[in-house]
Amino acid sequence: MVTHPSSDTVTPKDWQAVLAPHGMGYRIKLLSQLLARKFQERLDPFGLTIFHWVVLCCLWEEDGLAISSIGEKLHQVGGTLTGVLDRMESRGLIRRERDLHDRRIWRIWLTQEGKDLQEILPPIALEVRESAMQGISRSDRERFSEILNQAIANLA
């Protein structure tokens, strides 16, 4: 049964908090788009995309992941991830190998070029993040991150 708040408790003024451009979802999406745009501008000289970046991050944490594990970590569907991996392989950033114990599984390994980017790209990502977080205290940044994590967990 769907319940609706009584008309005395919710007013049109209350709706302002959920309507674009004031709504939290809209502002989070806007922040995401602005961060992505700034970071993509910094990735362009390397011929990389944000999708390449997130796959590289997974592999820097744990090289040799199964494709399915990368997809789970990134909440990506197979077709999208397959195309990204195809482009990364053709660029020489990764290589694919069958799992030694289960031939149905393909594992993704960084090439030396992919490994070398670990020294270059994280500082760039940090610069972009820092430009977005100027004037925000460390404790507020940490709390903001906690709140985002909780909201994601609530909806996942």
Query: Which of 48, 12, 70 has its CA nearest to residue 125?
Result: 48
Sheet containing strand 106-110, strands side by side: 65-66, 106-110, 94-98
| pLDDT over 70, % of the chain | 92
pTM value? Answer: 0.83
Task: Report domain extents, the chain.
Answer: 45-120
Model pLDDT for residues 53-87, shown as the tens digit of each residue:
999 999 999 999 999 999 999 887 556 898 999 99
45-120: CATH topology is Arc Repressor Mutant, subunit A (1.10.10)
DSSP labels, 124-138: HHHHHHHHHTTT--H
| Token digits of residue 28 | 């989070």
